[in-house]
Amino acid sequence: MQKQIVEIAKDFFLLRSKEEDFHRNIYIKRFTGTHGDSITMVMDPGTQMDYPVLSTVLKDLIGGIKNIHLIFLSHQDPDVSSNVSAILASAPRAIVISSIDTWRLVKMYGIPEKRFKSIESFKYDTLRIKKTGHYIQFIPAYYCHFRGASMFYDHESKVLFSGDFLGGLNTRKGDGVFATEDSWEGISLFHQIYMPSKKAVQATIDRIGLLNPLPEIIAPQHGDVIRGELVAEFLGRLATLDVGIDAEERTEAEIETLIVAFNDFLSMLKMTYPDFHSILVNDLKTHGEFTTLFILTGDSISGLKLLPKDVIYHLWKKLTAITPEETHNELKGLFVSSLQKFGVEIPDFLMPSEGSIGFADIWG
């Protein structure tokens, strides 16, 4: 069973919401000085739904919400900030730290200006906590995915809290909070849809690269905590990923051709496996997930939200998830036939395997 709170680094704790597909990560950092003085920061404290469990966790960890001193907001989205007013009411000494751009929106929750401190007001974007001797650094993440998005680097634990940057869907299965290779799929999906451009992403990666020492752990507001070799690996992949407007600039002809090929496959699927067709179409129409990757008009696909190679993968993944394994080879043949018919490049995962029977096995 997943622990309610996990220490991901020295005095750096993660509280994760319970959603299976797209959860929220609330982080708590406890700064303790040599004489026992303590300051607590909460990062992106979540929604009003999170308040009861956050209250319980903090009671055990620091004696209650009343002992929060700093609330850092990476941006203004309600999934990260709508809990702030309730926390401030319970924590009379707490102040909110965010960018000016974020403050312009979160102040609409009725937060008094005297309980706010802007990142821009700190010299060199660095806050030194006099009471404990620690210092923390704020790093802009302009347009990722908000103009005023910011990250926070804790030099003691070498953890970079990155907000939505490097966040992702839950594509890794199983318990635990740390990323594996399986986490990349969810990160890629999230950034393709919600980050505005490759240029904005690369600029944020460059700012991370200037940190000294470099982060050993990246803790995003959604998805898995990234550590070790995967920090550099995922940042490198992200730097070359087409996202947002760059992905939209792909040729319309390519997209239109792929839509025609998909609908040809759906027609063949309806003729050969009508039950599978019905289940698949209903699944593609399902709302309430993180996002809808396929836009449908009736029972036909009319629009796509990802790059062609990625959409092909996700359509195939959805199909294999709802069908018996013994039918997959036949379904693969139908799928490849439709793609080839309209000149769509066949991805490697759909290419025929070498097989296990050789010429000699047949002819003796």
Q: What is the pLDDT of residues 127-177, one digit of tens each?
A: 999 999 999 999 999 999 999 999 999 999 999 999 999 999 988 988 899
pLDDT beyond 50 at 294: yes
Quick one: which of 194, 336, 330, 160 has its CA closest to 262? Answer: 336
Quick one: which of 12, 11, 48, 10 has its CA closest to 27? Answer: 12
> Taking all residues of the chain, what is their mean pLDDT, rounded to a whole number?
90
Share of residues in the chain with pLDDT > 90 (%):
73
**Given this model, what pLDDT does residue 71 score?**
98
pLDDT beyond 50 at 364: no
Cβ-based neighbours of 340, under 8 Å, separated by 6 or more: 346
Average pLDDT over residues 195-224: 96
pLDDT beyond 50 at 359: no
What are the residue boundaries of the structural domains of the chain, listed by start?
A: 5-247, 250-350
**Given this model, what pLDDT does residue 285 score?**
82
| CA 116 – CA 258 distance, rounded (Å) | 50
**Given this model, what pLDDT does residue 288 score?**
47
Give the CATH number of domain 5-247: 3.60.15.10
**Given this model, what pLDDT does residue 363 score?**
52
pTM of the shown model: 0.78
More confident residue, 253 or 254: 254
pLDDT band at 223 (very low <50, low <70, confident <90, very high): very high
Which two structure tokens, joined as six digits, stand for 74?
């990476």
**Given this model, what pLDDT does residue 307 score?**
74
Burial environment of residue 122 by CB neighbours within 10 A (0 to 12, 13 to 18, 19 or more): middle
What are the tens digits of pLDDT across the range 36-60?
Answer: 899 999 999 999 899 999 999 999 9
Measured from the Cβ of residue 201, the count of other Cβ atoms closer than 10 Å reads: 27
Which two structure tokens, joined as six digits, stand for 180?
């594996």
Longest CA–CA span in the chain (Å) reads 87
